[in-house]
């Protein structure tokens, strides 16, 4: 297991074809058809990987523990 600490690290792992989890195996980070990075729950809900570009929370992740196996 490798912990990922930054937005840049997480995006790079996804772009390199790695499965990135958020918190546990029920949440994965994906890149959608619009080139946006999202956290997808196993029950089909989505949230952005981080705050909106140009916004107050642009550099804040919407999760605490990101990792690959």
Tens of pLDDT along 5-25? 999 999 999 999 999 999 999
Return the pLDDT at 53.
Answer: 86
Return the pLDDT at 1.
Answer: 86
Give the 3-state secondary structure of residue 7: helix
Rounded CA gap, 68 and 56, in Å? Answer: 28
Check the CA dihedral 13-5-46-57 and report its sign: negative
For residues 33-60, give the mean pLDDT: 94
Phi, psi angles (nearest 5°) of residue 9: -60, -45
Task: Give the range of the structural domain holding residue 13, as residue numbers without chain letter.
Answer: 2-68
Count of domains forming the chain: 1
CA-closest candidate to residue 69, choices 11, 13, 2: 2
């Amino acid at each position: 297991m490798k912990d990922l600490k930054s937005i840049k690290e997480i995006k790079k792992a996804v772009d390199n074809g790695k499965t990135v989890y958020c918190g546990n195996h029920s949440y994965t980070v994906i890149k959608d058809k619009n080139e946006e990075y999202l956290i997808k729950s196993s029950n089909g809900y989505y949230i952005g990987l981080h705050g909106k570009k140009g916004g107050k929370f642009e550099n804040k992740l919407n999760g605490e523990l990101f990792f690959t196996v």
